[in-house]
Amino acid sequence: MRISVVIPTHNEAQAIGRVLADLPSDLITEVIIVDSNSNDGTPEIAATMGARVIQEPRLGYGRACLTGLAAANFPDIVVFLDGDYSDRPSELPILLAPIIQGHADITLGSRLGQERIPAALPWHQAFGNRLAAGLIRLLYGVKITDLGPFRAGRADLLRALALKETTYGWAVEMILKGALNGFRVVEVPVTYYPRIGRSKIGGTVKGTIGAAWFILSLTVRYYFQRRKGNPPARVVAS
């Protein structure tokens, strides 16, 4: 089974080496770093460690993930992972197991389990994620607690979904379109640690507000489109 790992980066030189070193090499077919204008040597470190580096000068977390998905070389499964070492790449088997065993189409790593590391996830981020996840459970019936960045999905399904959100809304778009198309979205617990370096989202007021707006507005918009009989187009995965 071919597994591609996509890692968006922007100035993650302090962490990217540890992220790449911890990936279980016996499971991974390729690692794609999608770098957005780093000026601290992140791309050079990643390339030295064997990752394929793609430059994506256009801004947006979702855009970086979409660029990586489009560039993946005939994968069966695509994994998305942040480059700050907050999620542990060594836990990749936990994330992949439900898909490999045929129980899930998309898996999400929940950072809100019982084994939370103090201060790893600021209270406002934890609150926002619980709020958004609760809204998704209520409106879509998807049993999740978190919208964490450590996630995986069948490649044919992800490409069939025609994901297009280029900003913070990308993380929830995958879940909503997957749910509306009847795909199995399964959450698994993962450990979460304080990131290395400053957060581009939760570490700033602008980033926190922007993420909350895109996630909540997209969740509500898709719901009312469905109520009006005009949901996002249904797809068929190969």
User: Residue 170's domain is classified under what CATH number?
Assistant: 3.90.550.10
Domain limits at 212? Answer: 3-227
Confirm whether 235 is domain-assigned.
Answer: no
Confirm whether 233 is domain-assigned.
Answer: no
Confirm whether 131 is domain-assigned.
Answer: yes
Q: Under DSSP, is residue 88 helix (H, G, I), strand (E, B) or coil? A: coil
Q: How confident is the model at residue 198 (pLDDT cuts 50, 70, 90)?
A: low
The yes-or-no verdict on residue 175 having pLDDT over 80 is yes
Q: How confident is the model at residue 81 (pLDDT cuts 50, 70, 90)?
A: very high
Confirm whether 76 is domain-assigned.
Answer: yes
Confirm whether 238 is domain-assigned.
Answer: no
Give the separation between CA 73 and CA 56, rounded to whole angstroms.
17
Q: What total of structural domains would you count in the chain?
A: 1
Give the separation between CA 203 and CA 46, rounded to whole angstroms.
24
Say what the pLDDT of residue 230 is.
61
Q: Which of 89, 83, 104, 224 minimizes the C-alpha distance to 174?
A: 104
Say what the pLDDT of residue 93 is.
97
Say what the pLDDT of residue 208 is.
65
Confirm whether 60 is domain-assigned.
Answer: yes
Rounded to 5°, angle at Cα 139 from 165 and 169: 15
Q: How confident is the model at residue 220 (pLDDT cuts 50, 70, 90)?
A: confident
Lookup result for tokens 């979460």: 192
Say what the pLDDT of residue 49 is.
97
Q: Which of 21, 6, 26, 30 minimizes the C-alpha distance to 153?
A: 6
Predicted TM-score (pTM) of this structure: 0.89
Confirm whether 33 is domain-assigned.
Answer: yes
- Listed in order, strand segments (DSSP E) in 97-205 are 106-110, 151-154, 185-189
The yes-or-no verdict on residue 233 having pLDDT over 60 is no
In whole numbers, what is the pLDDT of the chain averaged over residues? 88
Give the separation between CA 25 and CA 37, rounded to whole angstroms.
27
Confirm whether 75 is domain-assigned.
Answer: yes
